[in-house]
């Protein structure tokens, strides 16, 4: 039994739901994401948020998987400040939907001034609505600088309990600074650009299993929706105990996500749309 | 494992047995990638900062100090500290451009 706390199921096939269920997935959480192209209007986000909060939970429930969502404009689409504000104005209405856990995945992509301003405005929305926050840290050479900018912005904002923030996509050079600030850290298991399972297990061995989770961040790109159960197999081969494996793949995500009353590992009864 | 020790549960010999073939394959892939670049027709670009970053990382991988992966990631990271005026495209390159 496991939870994949970060996966973009709108980009995945129904067969992936079937495979994930067969591998033991009981719950997923899906942050709002970049579609691979820039949407031409804010109305496109209205439809996307409906997909995340209406149709995707139904699709997941057919396989006994509880589906949850995070709402935001992703930093990859946040360079146009006016457009971003138009989208952000829609967020509060969706935060009250029954499968929504909070604001995410917000953060930085190329570490620009506008991205940072939009990130700070998202933090304020989360604070006003007492929402959990899921944060995307930048890719590759931008990650170290971006993570520092993000942590500094959170500290300067100061209105959100760090225990209600998860900073995702940490790697060896960023995990410690996130944990030291009292936040949760997510390790994304990607084939090329983030953590392999082997490196994620190394990080757990070096930094412990408190306030850390693993996720697939499976999306429309090169990624694997079964990355979490495959990492579980690797942990077993590396000699880790069943208790530690359960903690990292189930107990920890459940503990963080249960800070929202909307989180449940029990899927709703399947319905026909 | 709630208190990290930094020590894996398995001993060194077992970890070698478990991971050697995969590591061997990855080392060969890097070597073959560099060979491929040498065999490719030359352009007016003598070097590429990304390939230079890989060569620099290989030096770190071969030294005797700990935290090689962390130090390689740091060496590939943008060392600046201030947000940029505008995003330079959506995709990162994998290593920072020399300034």
Return the domain boundaries, chain A. 2-257
Round to whole Å and give the CA distance between A229 and A226. Answer: 6
Please give the pLDDT value at position A204: 97
The beta-carbon neighbor of A142 closest among B9, B69, B78 is B78
Mean pLDDT on B58-76: 97
Burial of A103: CB neighbours in 10 Å, binned 0-12, 13-18, 19+: buried
CA A50 to chain centre: 18
Residue B47 has pLDDT above 90, yes or no: no
Chain-chain contact of B84 with A237 (C-beta, under 8 angstroms): no
The residue of chain B nearest to residue A238, with distances taken between CA atoms, is B10
* B30: three-class secondary structure by DSSP: helix
How far apart CA A80 and CA A88 sit, in angstroms, is 12
Q: pLDDT-based confidence at B99, cuts 50/70/90?
A: low
CB pairs under 8 A between A and B: 108
CB contact under 8 A, A76 and B92: no
Question: Which run of H or of E encompasses A133?
Answer: strand A132-136
Please state the separation of Cα A156 from the chain's center in Å.
23
In the CATH scheme, what architecture does the domain A2-257 have?
A: Alpha-Beta Barrel (3.20)
User: Which has more confidence, A122 or B3?
Assistant: A122
Tell me which of A169 and B97 has the higher pLDDT: A169
Answer yes or no: are the C-beta atoms of A205 and A241 closer than 8 Å.
no
pLDDT at site A39: 95
Smallest CA–CA distance, residue A240 to chain B, in Å, is: 7
Residue B99 with chain A: CB contacts under 8 Å: none
A-chain residues within 8 Å CB-CB of B18? 237-238
Query: What string of pLDDT tens digits covers the 273 residues of chain A?
Result: 999 999 999 999 999 999 999 999 999 999 999 999 999 999 999 999 999 999 999 999 999 999 999 999 999 999 999 999 999 999 999 999 999 999 999 999 999 999 999 999 999 999 999 999 999 999 999 999 999 999 999 999 999 999 999 999 999 999 999 999 999 999 999 988 899 999 999 999 999 999 999 999 999 999 999 999 999 999 999 999 999 999 999 999 999 999 999 999 998 888 876
- pLDDT given for residue B43 in this prediction: 77
Bond from prior residue into A104 cis (ω within 30 degrees of 0): no
Distance from CA of A122 to the nearest CA of B (A): 17
State residue A49's pLDDT score: 98
Q: What is the pLDDT of residue B7?
A: 87
């Amino acid at each position: 039994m496991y939870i994949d706390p970060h996966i973009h199921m709108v980009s995945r096939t129904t067969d992936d739901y079937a495979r994930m269920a067969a591998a033991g997935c009981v719950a997923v959480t899906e942050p709002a994401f970049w579609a691979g192209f820039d949407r031409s209007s804010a109305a496109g986000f209205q439809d996307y948020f409906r997909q995340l909060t209406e149709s995707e939970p139904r699709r997941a429930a057919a396989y006994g998987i509880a589906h949850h969502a995070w709402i935001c404009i992703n930093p990859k689409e946040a360079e146009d400040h006016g457009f971003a504000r138009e989208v952000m104005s829609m967020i509060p209405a969706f935060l009250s939907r029954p499968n929504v856990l909070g604001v995410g995945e917000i953060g930085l992509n190329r570490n620009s001034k506008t991205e940072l301003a939009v990130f700070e405005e998202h933090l304020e929305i989360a604070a006003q609505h007492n929402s959990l926050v899921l944060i995307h840290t930048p890719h590759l050479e931008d990650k170290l600088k971006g993570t520092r900018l993000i942590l500094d912005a959170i500290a300067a904002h100061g209105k959100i309990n760090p225990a209600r923030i998860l900073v995702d996509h940490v790697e060896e050079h960023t995990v410690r600074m996130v944990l030291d600030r009292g936040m949760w850290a997510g390790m994304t298991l990607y084939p090329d650009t983030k953590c392999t399972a082997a490196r994620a297990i190394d990080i757990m061995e070096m930094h412990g299993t408190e306030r850390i989770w693993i996720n697939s961040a499976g999306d429309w790109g090169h990624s694997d929706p079964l990355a979490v159960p495959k990492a579980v197999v690797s942990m077993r081969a590396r000699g880790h105990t069943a208790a530690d494996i359960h903690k990292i793949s189930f107990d920890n995500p459940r503990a963080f996500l249960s800070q929202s009353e909307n989180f449940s590992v029990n899927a709703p009864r399947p319905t026909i749309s | 494992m709630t208190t990290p020790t930094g020590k894996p549960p398995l001993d060194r010999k077992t970890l070698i047995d478990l991971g050697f073939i995969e590591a061997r394959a990855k080392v060969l892939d890097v070597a073959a990638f560099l060979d491929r670049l040498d065999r490719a027709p030359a352009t007016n670009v003598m070097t590429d900062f990304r390939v230079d970053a890989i060569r620099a990382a290989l030096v770190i991988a071969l030294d005797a100090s700990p935290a090689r992966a962390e130090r390689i990631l740091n060496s590939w990271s943008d060392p600046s500290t201030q947000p940029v005026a505008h995003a330079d495209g959506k995709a990162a390159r994998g290593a920072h451009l020399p300034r």
